[in-house]
């Protein structure tokens, strides 16, 4: 491969359809002309859409995928159709080293199951986790798992902490990221047994390139006082979506408030440039692109309803992960972790 | 007892201290002069503070409690000190029918454990749940459990649904409230086994005075499209605190945006009256007061850091529950539920 990172794109996955995905790729290419794309999807449909974007006239491969995965499809069913679906074929391109990363906006459970089966987890990792950067009052923070694993044990959470710290070190450039476990209180006695056990393991693991800082609560997530928030996929998904919903709720109330009188309408007109900055900061499309960490290969999940800007952002996340060689870096951290844990008799 | 509802108040519980609690009681009395209070706490401290509020010169009893429960105290330790602590004595007043409801801003775990031990759960209820009203774009919605039970099985969730619906019917006046289970997707295959089983049980329970409407996600909580959201206490607490934190995050960003230029400062000045309405809508003190449902007696949890307005609001919640005879109404619904479930062979 020549040029920049090569991204295998599931052109058929997601609620917003192939047009948004291809328009997103065009947008990403405008920002980063070295990007290479391999689209998987219905050849006729994708070709017609590609023709709408001159910037995608070169550096693009189109591979026909006869089928696609439905949003409601069970992961156990989906994995049987890996070879014939746009999602399965995009993942396979990473496995076969035909692309540096795969990207899909489709069914998260199916994407997780297919990725795990095709790419396998890294040594020392039982389950991959879905990680993303969240906006805060300070610098962004890494949060994982965002929904890949409904239930997690203490070992899973410790592995997520190691992977999340490697992500933060690579992307945020923080040599020793602050890591906290999401809980319903900060006292040691709070929460599930899994959380208490994970906290005890992380407290002892002072050889890791991370600073474990105990528990944090939902109301602290956007304060900017932590670099990595670790949680099981159920709570992580609830927290992420509640945060998105609440941000939309407050901005809806704000819109209502501004419309409530002539005076406040005038105030809105005056404040508009400043309020637009707020809008940019909160737009989920600007934070789109969650990465499956812990696999022998890169897979990025784009939000199913992402607009072209959101898709472009997820592609940029994938490209940044490739350029930062995140898979190798996580592998090194895990080797280090297991070597120490083994020396201390705590290995599994 | 003469007059309005009599509330037994733990004057020593909560981070904001006895002064905020007593000032909150004074505030509640100004709005509702029929309220009777019984304060439990250090006699000298509470008496000095009561003297600051003329409106509390009558209709108030002060009972000395030699001790109080610390925020960090384990529930298992706390219950041994029920007889000598302000929290334990306030709960006991409800048990002994000396008060209609107890209120505390102290340690939630201890309050739950003590209340359960003193008041016992209603027939058919394994665990009480902490319920509160949340603001939405439409009418408020009831959410439970907010943190009383870290782990819940399907039966617990079904019981929460029945209790939450009774709460919604009583407080929101909705004869057949829409009930949803909080999950990480709306498809039937999503989530934990407990959630899937609870959904199946509720789907079959069409004799209940509620309309079960499947799963909902975190981003829908403030949309106003559901009357009762049921969840385990871990996820519920994460969602509630994340929503609080995100609302604060957005308003912090808004403040920053308004301060960013002279022009936007002027815009803020013009919009101020409208923005103040937004502030009122989002102030957690205006939504303070969570109720333990499923006990043979009323216990209300006030936020530990509530200001006097917040305490007054929690007292108003307690008074409203007393006047609405919520305990009896939940009992009737549960009897009805068990009679049907038994007839259908589904009783435990």
Which carries the bigger pLDDT value, residue A15 or residue A116? A116
* Cβ separation A271–B278 shorter than 8 A: no
Size of interface A-B (CB pairs under 8 A): 208
Q: Does B245 touch chain A (CB under 8 A)?
A: yes
Rounded to the nearest angstrom, the minimum Cα separation between B153 and chain A is: 14
Segment 142-171 of chain B within 8 Å of chain A by CB = 147, 150-151
Is the pLDDT at A187 greater than 90? The verdict is no
In three-state secondary structure terms, A52 is: coil
Tokens describing residue B241: 């605190």
* Cβ separation A257–B244 shorter than 8 A: no
Residue positions counted in chain B: 348
Interface test with A, best of B241, B268, B304 (most A CBs within 10 A): B241
Contacts of B15 in chain A (CB under 8 A): none
* Cβ separation B257–A251 shorter than 8 A: no
Which chain B residue has the Cα nearest residue A265? B271
- Pick from A46, A218, A24, A251: which is nearest to A134 by CA? A218
Q: Does B184 touch chain A (CB under 8 A)?
A: yes
C-alpha dist (Å) from residue A185 to A28, B150, B241: 41, 11, 10
Q: Does A266 touch chain B (CB under 8 A)?
A: yes
Asked whether the beta carbons of B58 and B86 are under 8 A apart, the reply is no
Task: Tell me how far apart the alpha carbons of residues B254 and A286 are, in angstroms, rounded to a whole number.
Answer: 18
Residue with tokens 């989002």: B282
Asked whether the beta carbons of A191 and B233 are under 8 A apart, the reply is no
Residue with tokens 């409106």: B55
Predicted confidence at residue B182, as pLDDT, reads 98
* Cβ separation A267–B263 shorter than 8 A: no
* Cβ separation A240–B218 shorter than 8 A: yes
Q: Does B258 touch chain A (CB under 8 A)?
A: yes
* Cβ separation A274–B253 shorter than 8 A: no
Predicted confidence at residue A1, as pLDDT, reads 41
CA B287-B120-B337 angle, 5° bins: 80
C-alpha dist (Å) from residue A257 to A252, A268, A278, B228: 9, 10, 16, 27
Rounded to the nearest angstrom, the minimum Cα separation between A255 and chain B is: 10
Predicted confidence at residue B344, as pLDDT, reads 63
Predicted confidence at residue A205, as pLDDT, reads 83
What average pLDDT does chain B have? Answer: 91
C-alpha dist (Å) from residue A117 to A75, A88, A98, A127, B230: 11, 10, 17, 11, 34
Q: Does B130 touch chain A (CB under 8 A)?
A: no
Contacts of A245 in chain B (CB under 8 A): 218-223, 243
Predicted confidence at residue A337, as pLDDT, reads 78
Contacts of B234 in chain A (CB under 8 A): 184, 191-192, 235
Which chain A residue has the Cα nearest residue B242? A218
Task: Tell me how far apart the alpha carbons of residues B63 and B127 are, in angstroms, rounded to a whole number.
Answer: 30
Predicted confidence at residue B37, as pLDDT, reads 97
Predicted confidence at residue A9, as pLDDT, reads 97
For the segment B97-110, what is each residue's pLDDT rounded down to a tens digit?
Answer: 999 999 999 998 89
State mean pLDDT over A120-126: 92
Q: Does B266 touch chain A (CB under 8 A)?
A: yes
Asked whether the beta carbons of B314 and B288 are under 8 A apart, the reply is yes
Task: Tell me how far apart the alpha carbons of residues B324 and B320 are, in angstroms, rounded to a whole number.
Answer: 6
Is the pLDDT at A197 greater than 70? The verdict is yes
Residue B262 buriedness (CB in 10 A; 0-12 / 13-18 / 19+): exposed
Which chain A residue has the Cα nearest residue B270? A267
What average pLDDT does chain A have? Answer: 91
Q: Give the bridge partners for A228, in sequence order.
A: A142, A179
Predicted confidence at residue B160, as pLDDT, reads 96
Three-class SS of A88-138 = HHHHHHHHCCCCCEEEECCCHHHHHHHHHHHHCECCCCCCCEEEEEECCCC
Residue A220: pLDDT band with limits 50, 70, 90: very high
Contacts of B184 in chain A (CB under 8 A): 147, 150, 233-234, 237-238, 241
Q: Provide the residue-wise pLDDT of chain B in tens; the chain has 348 residues.
A: 458 999 999 999 888 889 999 999 999 999 999 999 999 999 999 999 999 999 999 999 999 999 999 988 889 999 999 899 999 999 999 999 999 999 999 998 899 999 999 999 999 899 999 999 999 999 899 999 999 898 899 999 999 999 999 999 888 888 899 999 999 988 887 889 999 999 999 998 888 889 999 999 999 999 999 999 999 999 999 999 999 999 999 989 888 888 888 888 888 888 888 888 888 888 888 889 999 999 999 999 999 889 999 999 999 999 999 999 999 989 988 888 778 776 665 544
For the segment B244-297, what is each residue's pLDDT rounded down to a tens digit?
Answer: 999 999 989 888 888 888 888 888 888 888 888 888 888 888 889 999 999 999
- Pick from A277, A304, A213, A268: which is nearest to A14 by CA? A304
Predicted confidence at residue B347, as pLDDT, reads 44
Which residue of A220, A242, A260 is in closest CB contact with B239? A242
Is the pLDDT at A347 greater than 60? The verdict is no
Q: What percentage of residues in chain A have a pLDDT greater than 90?
A: 68
Contacts of A240 in chain B (CB under 8 A): 218
Tokens describing residue B166: 């009774």
Rounded to the nearest angstrom, the minimum Cα separation between A183 and chain B is: 7
Q: Does A347 touch chain B (CB under 8 A)?
A: no
Q: What percentage of residues in chain A have a pLDDT greater than 70?
A: 97
Predicted confidence at residue B1, as pLDDT, reads 41
* Cβ separation B250–A245 shorter than 8 A: no
Neighbours of B138 (CB within 10 A): 12
* Cβ separation B274–A253 shorter than 8 A: no
Structural domains in chain A, CATH included, are 1-125+294-323 (3.40.718.10), 127-288 (3.40.718.10)
Which chain A residue has the Cα nearest residue B273? A264
**Least reliable range by pLDDT among A113-122, A277-286, B134-143:** A277-286
Which chain A residue has the Cα nearest residue B284? A219
Rounded to the nearest angstrom, the minimum Cα separation between B15 and chain A is: 14
Which chain B residue has the Cα nearest residue A276? B257
Report CA torsion sign: B84, B88, B94, B95. negative
Residue with tokens 């794109």: A9
**Least reliable range by pLDDT among A52-56, A116-120, B14-18, B166-170:** B14-18
State mean pLDDT over A308-317: 95
Contacts of A267 in chain B (CB under 8 A): 266-272, 274
Interface test with A, best of B130, B145, B183, B267 (most A CBs within 10 A): B267
Rounded to the nearest angstrom, the minimum Cα separation between A139 and chain B is: 13
């Amino acid at each position: 491969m020549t040029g920049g990172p090569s991204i295998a794109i599931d052109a058929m996955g997601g609620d917003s359809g192939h047009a948004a995905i291809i328009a997103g790729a065009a947008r990403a290419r405008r920002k980063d002309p070295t990007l290479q794309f391999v689209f998987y999807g219905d050849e006729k449909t994708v070709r017609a859409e590609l023709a709408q974007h001159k910037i995608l006239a070169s550096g693009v491969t189109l591979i026909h995928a006869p089928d696609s995965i439905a949003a409601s499809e069970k992961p156990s069913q989906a994995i049987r159709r890996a070879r014939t679906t746009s999602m399965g074929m995009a993942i396979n391109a990473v496995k076969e080293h035909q692309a540096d990363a795969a990207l899909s906006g489709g069914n998260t459970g199916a994407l997780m199951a297919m990725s795990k089966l095709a790419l396998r987890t890294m040594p020392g990792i039982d389950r991959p986790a879905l990680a993303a950067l969240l906006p805060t009052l300070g610098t962004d923070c890494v949060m994982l798992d965002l929904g890949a694993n409904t239930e997690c044990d203490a070992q899973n959470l410790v592995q997520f902490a190691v992977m999340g710290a490697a992500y933060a070190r690579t992307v945020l450039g923080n040599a020793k990221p602050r890591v906290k476990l999401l809980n319903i209180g900060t006292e040691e006695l709070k929460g599930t047994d899994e959380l208490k056990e994970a906290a005890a393991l992380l407290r002892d693991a002072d050889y890791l390139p991370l600073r474990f800082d105990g528990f944090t609560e939902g109301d602290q997530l956007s304060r900017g006082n932590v670099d990595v928030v670790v949680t099981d996929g159920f709570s992580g998904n609830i927290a992420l979506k509640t945060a998105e919903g609440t941000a939309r709720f407050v901005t809806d109330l704000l819109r209502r408030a501004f419309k409530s009188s002539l005076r406040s309408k005038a105030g809105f007109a005056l404040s508009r440039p400043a309020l637009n900055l707020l809008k940019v900061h909160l737009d989920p499309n600007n934070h789109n692109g969650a990465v499956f960490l812990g696999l022998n290969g890169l897979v990025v999940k784009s939000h199913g309803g992402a607009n072209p800007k959101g898709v472009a952002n997820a592609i940029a996340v994938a490209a940044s992960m490739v350029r930062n060689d995140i898979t190798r870096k996580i592998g090194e951290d895990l080797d280090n972790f297991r070597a120490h844990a083994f020396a201390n008799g705590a290995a599994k």
